[in-house]
Amino acid sequence: MGSSREEWWYKLSQECAQGAIYDSSERQPHSRCLPGTRADILQDLKELVNNTDRKVIWISGEAGSGKSSIAHTFTDHLRGEGKLAATFFFSRKHAKRTTFKHVLLTIAYQLGLQHHRARDIIARAIADDPALLTLEKSHQDQLEKLVIIPLKDLAATVWRGQLGQSLILDALDEGTADGLSHLKPFIFTIFGLLRNQSLPIHNIIVTSRLWPQIRAAMHNQELRDVVKPLQVEDYDSRQDVDLFLRHSFDLIYNNHALFDFSIPQQWPHPDDFLMLSERAHGRFIFAATIVRLVDQHEPWDRLQLVCSMLRGNVEGIWGDIDHLYTSIMNSVEASVRNEAEHYLRLIVDLAEPLPLDGLRDLFAIDICSLLLPFSALISVPPTASTDVVQIYHTSFRDFLQNGNLGMMGQADVSSEQHHQLSFRCFKTMARLLKRDICGLRDPSFLHEEILGFPQKRDSVPQALVYSCRHWLYHLQLCVPENGMMGAISDFVERRLLHAIEVYAVLGELGTGAQMLRAARDLIMTWSQQPFAQKDLVLHLLHDAWRMTLDFFDPISSSALHIYESALPCCPSQSRIRATYGISEESVVLFEEGLDDQWSCVTREIETKFVNIDATSLSPDGSKIAVLTRLGENEWPLFSVKIWDTTTGRLLTQFEVPFIRTDFLSVHYNGSYLALYRKLSHELSLWHLPSGTPVVLDCFPTERTCPCEAVALSHDGHKMALMSLHDTASGTLLRIRIYRIETVERLLDYSVTLVSLTGFDRESFGIPGTMEFSNKNDLLLLHIGRRIAVFSATSGRALQVDNTRCGAHMLKPCLVIFSPNDDWIIHLTTYTDGGTEVDVFAVKHTTDGSVPDGSLITTNAQSPIQNPLKPLIEPLIYSTGLVGVKVGDRISSICGSSRTLWASEKAEWVGALVHGRHDGIATGTISVLSVRQASQSTNPQRSNVPALHRSWEPGSNLRIYAYDPGDGFHLVSHPTSDPDTTPLMSDKAYWDAPFKHHSFSPKSKVSNLGKELSYSSWNYFLDGDPLPPNQFL
């Protein structure tokens, strides 16, 4: 049953960051400039906006200088003028506002509010591609379909004939929670709206602190001409602060009826007012904190307290907000202050803010009375309010986290806070998690078929939602100890399935699966003692991860199938089956036919049977990039597709125009994707998920110098190119290294082959490969029969070796660094799955450093001489190389790419393309658990049909049951309409949500995947009975 446009619009409203919209209740009280203040900078803004040139207006200033107030005030002006397209107010207080992930969705939502035409365009785009609502979808796809197309329609209708519209992004620096590496690509993506002359956006107004990274982006050569900077400190704000203080004290006087207490109307006294004004020193955050501190019970006494704190010879700290914070904290009675400080520290370290009810459930105590004395520093809403408890300004978080507490504090407290928060998360889950948390009852219904499902989903307590989302975040930031180990053991052994149910209900099952894998990787680093249950916890986390992957589609669409079909289908010897058992409420019980252990295959990705020319795994194995080709003519159509290996979801795809079939390779580091076109000598870089193409013509003056190899560094920051060029003096080998983010050239080094012992032109009969060392300080080149090691800092050749390939040189080869960069592993694979291994030593000096500039020539060592060779184990699945094991370290292999080396116990995935025709891969990509592949010499697929991985809501599925005495009965169908199209005759889906009709809830299934029988019932596909012992 497809969702209507209204439902897709509702889903967008839930996914976007509502609190980032300028008039959102989440931002109350809204920070506006007092009338008569900030007049100069506001006038300059108006003049810039009225200029029809397309521009970026960058308002910068230090923390607390009033940037957000200016942005909000000017937003009011633009809205009144009909020139406001959308806003996004970043904030470190709210998870959705701390990164750039939700910006485009939030802009799209606001565009839809402008006019129903834009709303229909956006809802239709999401209906056609629901992945647009996911965080994994590329920013480029979201920008094009949810922002650019609606903007074009608005320009032709609602805004026709009007002057340019404006987009406002406030506190850009607070959107970098995911790292500063995302900053520049985001800026380029958003600022691209100005370059498109068909769009009505003429002004993008950005506020931020003056960070070097932001300054560098704004001063970039491509943006320099369009950026108009305004710095708040260039405008004298002392008079404005005086106006603010005067206005605020007048309000306090009237609101508290101070005239009834015989307080003079000229309050505060002129001397006190002058002192407060001087201490504020033009900083609005300082003045605002003073006002909040005074505006409480008996404000005249509070004013005298503030004045006494601030009087004296403190010229050096005028405007010092930390001094004011310290004074306020010390003014509270010690017993209250110490307990409140404990919870204040916890609150500012939360991953996202919670209302008072949520904090009460999380902390198991009502802290409202403790927070009230600090209401000048933190917003404390009424008890029954759904508003969150949050600090007024991020400088107070910095104050607490940096330990600037005078005689109160200690600086190193962050780990302890996260320890307590992770412990509170486990306690909350222990208290609140249970089966069927939302009262869904019937697992046979999809979420979208359940009446009132959104309301049921929202009934999950906020503290429980927080705990399920963020227990691992806090666990990663603390030091484990006995109590914490006991808490996580209890969670994993008793409540893990309930947590997965919550992830499915929230629509965050993919995130939940990633958390299970990351938690296992984290706990593996803990010492065995005193964690006695470590092995069991690791096994259960692994089983839960595998179960979530194998049954991802049904669980995500009907959460109760975690108990209904996923757990009963788990391997018979799995720890999760033994620990949790099979519920008495489960309809399906298996007598035999289950696998003993999990299959190596975690997911199969269907590529619609297009030709696959190249593949590349991201370094962590979470994504796979595929270069596909349509057509067999001279100019076929190429496209790049990126899949999530956990969910099997297609994240993004884009066409690569006019590439001949002499294309070399595709390289993907999880953020950037590199493609080289040999015909035009053009290297193209795409930043993903932004999808913004950065095209670099590497050889503008040397068209006869083709690129032989490309490599991306393991840290994701560098790209190396190797080229060959025939000159009068011989063949020139050239190495260039670039910084990926800026496309800045870091190294350009050339050397003639005749100067390299062991090289000759004959060596270069086939395309070469190249990779960075694990420490990113060396480059390994493999060309023909030769391999060479170069310095990645100087470019100088350090070592040349003969691979002794001989007649095998045209066989598929892989050359990589060992985990410690001290050996080079050369693998040759054969079509029957056989492999041949050679190993070379990387030569070092006595002090362990690479002998820069001194060339060493050696030959492959024999197995007897080489201590590493017996430890090397190629990992083969279905005759394909999927990984390499060296001792206790594993690296996944996919094509010419590999993942980072990891412990053999870690959950790393590999990928294998099935089916080849004339050397071109076609069909299916199997995603594999390389750790499991390493534990089996002949890994096989599961007896449980992999068909469940193909199941999707709305697929044409009908299953009938036959009772010899009562005829046919409909057992399962995908929608509420029993007359849907019958199931394709070659598929049966054990984990599709069952519509129970006419059979015992205690039926047992025998010989899963072979003879399908429900006691006296038989399954039929399309009305045709399955013969006895029929194999699927």
Confidence class of residue 305 from pLDDT cuts 50, 70 and 90?
confident
Candidates 350, 348, 293, 355; CA nearest to 324 is: 293
The whole-angstrom separation of Cα 267 and Cα 633 is 86
Which residues, in sequence order, are CB contacts of 825 under 8 Å at separation 6+?
Answer: 814, 815, 816, 817, 818, 837, 838, 839, 872, 884, 886
- pLDDT greater than 50 at residue 580: yes
Task: Name which of 191, 207, 155, 241 is nearest 22 in CA terms.
Answer: 207
3-state secondary structure (DSSP) of residue 196: coil
Q: What is the pLDDT at residue 658?
A: 56
920 by Cβ neighbours in 10 Å (0-12 / 13-18 / 19+) ranks as middle
- Residue of 566 and 46 predicted with greater confidence: 46
The reported pLDDT for the residue numbered 804 is 56
- What is the pLDDT at residue 609? 52
For the cut 90, the answer to whether the pLDDT of residue 448 exceeds it is no
Band of pLDDT at residue 317, cut at 50, 70 and 90: very low
968 - beta bridge partners? 962
Q: Is the pLDDT of residue 404 over 70?
A: no
* 747 CB neighbour count, 10 Å cutoff: 17
Q: Which residue has the higher pLDDT, 112 or 744?
A: 112
Q: How far apart are CA 643 and CA 623, in angstroms?
A: 6
Containing 619, the helix (H) or strand (E) segment is none
Structure-token pair, residue 459 = 């009934």
Encoded amino acid at 180, one letter: L
Residues 6+ apart with CB under 8 A from 938: none
Find where tokens 């999809």 sit: 446
Residue with tokens 């009675």: 333
Contacts of residue 263, Cβ cutoff 8 Å, sequence gap at least 6: 253, 300
How large is the average pLDDT for residues 139-162? 86
Highest mean pLDDT among 203-207, 248-252, 937-941, 964-968: 203-207
Q: What is the pLDDT of residue 1030?
A: 31
Q: Are 746 and 737 in contact (CB under 8 A)?
A: yes
How far apart CA 897 and CA 615 sit, in angstroms, is 8
Pick the CATH number of 5-234 from 3.40.50.300, 3.10.105.10, 3.40.50.450, 3.90.1720.10: 3.40.50.300
Residue 766's pLDDT is 46
CA distances to 135, 268, 425, 555, 1028 from 559, in Å: 21, 61, 22, 5, 33
Instruction: With cut-offs at 50, 70 and 90, classify the pLDDT of residue 829.
Output: confident
Q: Which pair of tokens denotes residue 281? A: 């020193």
Q: DSSP state, 562?
A: I
d(C-alpha 312, C-alpha 490), whole Å:
56
Evaluate if residue 311 carries a pLDDT over 80: no
Residue 957 has pLDDT above 90, yes or no: no
Specify the pairing of strand 856-859 against strand 835-841: unpaired
| pLDDT, average across residues 218-231 | 84
CA max distance for the chain: 104
The predicted pLDDT at position 489 comes to 94
- Using the predicted structure, report yes or no on whether residue 844 has a pLDDT greater than 60: no
Residue 779, phi then psi, degrees to nearest 5: -120, 135
- The three-point CA angle 290-294-295 to 5° equals 115
Give the pLDDT confidence score for residue 281 in this predicted structure: 76
- Confirm if 639 and 940 have CB atoms less than 8 A apart: no
Closest among 602, 595, 536, 541 to 568, alpha carbons compared: 595
**What pLDDT, on the 0 to 100 scale, is given for residue 1010?**
26
Choice among 96-100, 103-107, 147-151, 320-324 with the minimum mean pLDDT = 320-324
**What phi, psi does 604 have (nearest 5°)?**
-120, 125
Render the burial of 572-589: b for 16+ CB within 10 Å, e for the rest.
eebbbbebbeeeeebbbe
The whole-number pLDDT of residue 521 equals 86
3-state helix, strand, coil in the chain (%, to 5): 35, 25, 40
pLDDT digits (tens, 9 = 90+) for 615-651: 888 888 888 888 877 665 555 677 788 888 877 778 8
Q: Rounded distance, CA 327 to CA 322, Å?
A: 9
Mean pLDDT of 176-193: 82
Does position 449 have pLDDT exceeding 60, yes or no? yes
Q: What is the pLDDT of residues 686-717, one digit of tens each?
A: 777 555 566 665 544 344 556 778 888 888 78
pLDDT, mean over the chain? 75
More confident residue, 430 or 786: 430
Upstream peptide bond of 268 is cis (omega within 30 degrees of 0): yes
Which pLDDT belongs to residue 849? 40
Predicted confidence band of residue 845 (pLDDT cuts 50, 70, 90): very low
Lookup: tokens for 828 = 């040759």
For every residue of 991-1023, DSSP letters joined together read TSPP---SS-TT-EE-STTSS-EETTEEEEETT
pLDDT at 917: 45
* pLDDT of 579 above 80: yes
In angstroms, the CA 443 to CA 565 distance is 10
Q: How far apart are CA 357 and CA 366, in angstroms?
A: 8
Instruction: Say which range, 188-202, 255-269, 701-715, has the weakest mean pLDDT.
Output: 701-715
The full DSSP string for 44-95 is HHHHHHHS-S-EEEEEE--TTSSHHHHHHHHHHHHHHHT-EEEEEE--TTSG
Give the mean pLDDT of 889-918.
74
Burial string for 787-796 (b: 16+ CB within 10 Å, else e) reads bbbbbbeebb
87-124 burial code (b ≥16 CB/10 A, e <16): bbbbbbbbbbbbbbbbbbbbbbbbbbebbeebbebbbe
Interval 466-514: pLDDT, tens: 999 999 999 998 888 888 899 999 999 999 999 999 999 998 898 899 8
Bridge partners of residue 652, in order along the sequence = 642
Please give the pLDDT value at position 976.
38
Tell me which residue has tokens 């292999």. 893
d(CA 410, CA 37): 39
Query: Which is nearest to 231 in space by CA: 69, 63, 74, 59?
Result: 59
Question: Using one digit for the tens of pLDDT, what is the confidence trace for 907-922?
Answer: 667 777 765 444 444 5
Q: Do the bridges between strand 692-696 and strand 165-170 make them parallel or antiparallel, or are there none, so unpaired?
A: unpaired
Is cis: bond before 863, omega within 30 of 0? Answer: no
Distance CA 474, CA 805 (A): 51
pLDDT at 166 over 90: yes
Q: What is the per-residue burial (b if ≥16 Cβ within 10 Å, else e) of 607-617?
A: beebbbbbbbb
